[in-house]
Structure 1
Amino acid sequence: MLKPAATLRIELLDVTPLVWRRFVVPAHVQLPKLHKIIQTVMGWEDSHLHLFDFGGTAYGVLDDEFPDDLTRSEKGVRLDKVLGSATQFQYRYDFGDNWRHRIVVEALGAPNLCFTLPICLAGENACPPEDVGSVAGYAEFLQALVDPEHRQHDDYRTWVGGIFDPAGFDVNAVNASLRTLR
């Protein structure tokens, strides 16, 4: 019997334009692997801490340097077990910039045998660059890039490596990266 798959839609909250992805994972995926998949589909670089929140129960990487009695270890925790009957949950990345994501479970059931999981099906817009400085920092960054007279225009262009397209998203590139996770 085939193990079920979960079709998920993730949205980066509070940014414009809306950044979202639709992707499919094995429903039994463990949270550390789901974190890696999310990092890949969103375009993050996995250089900060993260947290999953399932209806008020938080899971993440426990850090002795920053003790937290409210967060449970994500190690060995499967998505299908913590999801229960919930249809959405939260994912937070980079507690300094505080990137908040909503993840909606769009479907749970038999996998499409044409796909090797995980796979990204669709999405729109580029994820903000790492360490851009939160929602407000990203808005300032975008404004500076389009205005050659902005005082930080040249600095941001250099920092980002020249060109940044906020509407850029390449599902094929994401899936090529996902293949390295399998």
Structure 2
Amino acid sequence: MDYVGSNVVYQLKITLQEIEPPIWRRVLVPAGITFYKLHKIIQAAFGWQDYHLFDFDFGDVVVHIPDPDYAPGELYGGAKELNAKRTKIDALLSERKKCVYTYDFGDNWRHDVILETIMPVEEGRRYPVCVAGARHRPPEDVGGVSGYEEFLRIIRDPGHPEYNDYLVWAEKDTGGRKFDPEYFYINEVNRALAKIKSTTPH
């Protein structure tokens, strides 16, 4: 599919809100992709497991997967709703420069997505790609920011009666590695991103 700006990439900085020190990723994503593809890229960049709902909130515009149980406007108080599988990132991101990506409306993981710069495609380079980042994301279903703080308090105290249980539980998020909030390995992130095809619009 031909679209304007297909020879550029967007440099995005994505940071989880309300957690210090910050958990963040800087990614380069191709122009012309849909918000659904951007959702997949963020999932891979942070290692989320993609089994919860999500949306991109620009204030007066929300991009999400429409729920057939709700009429347009019912969930978002009249904000304009766009379908993530049909809406390309280009116009909204290049004009607005930032939005909030929320994953899992229970735990409510809110990520600030900021467009830092637009740059030309580098010949021979694969996109999407992560170029920087820090720290491991919280475990899925840990109970939001407050649940994560409690989780960290317990796994930092080997004498706590639930220390082992919490670490074993968190292996679902690490593939069997001991959970380390400081863990970030860019090659691992880019292996996950390489599985996302950048040639298709979805």
Answer yes or no: same fold by TM over 0.5: yes
TM tier, shorter chain? over 0.9
Alignment root-mean-square deviation, CA: 1.7
DSSP 3-state at the match of 2:87: coil
Matched residues, percent identical?
Answer: 39
- Map Cα deviations across residues 75-103 of structure 1 (whole Å, 9 max, x no partner): 21011022242221110000000000001
Unaligned runs of at least 5 residues, structure 1: none
Inter-partner Cα distance in structure 2 for 1:63 and 1:144: 38
Is 1:147 the counterpart of 2:151? The answer is no
Is 1:111 the counterpart of 2:146? The answer is no
| 1:8–1:104 contact (8 Å) kept in structure 2 | yes
The one-letter code matched in structure 1 to 2:40 is K
Is 1:172 the counterpart of 2:176? The answer is no
Q: Number of paired residues? A: 182
TM-score by length of 1: 0.93
The residue aligned with 1:99 is: 109
- Map Cα deviations across residues 66-124 of structure 1 (whole Å, 9 max, x no partner): 55523432121011022242221110000000000001111113122252110010100
| 1:27–1:108 contact (8 Å) kept in structure 2 | no
Distance change >3 Å, CA 88–CA 30, structure 1 → 2: same
1:4, distance to aligned residue in structure 2 (A): 1.3
- Map Cα deviations across residues 119-149 of structure 1 (whole Å, 9 max, x no partner): 0101000011111110000011011001123
Q: Spell out structure 1 runs of 4+ moving beyond 3 A.
A: 65-68
Inter-partner Cα distance in structure 2 for 1:101 and 1:68: 24
| 2:6–2:32 contact (8 Å) kept in structure 1 | no
The residue aligned with 1:126 is: 136
The one-letter code matched in structure 1 to 2:116 is E
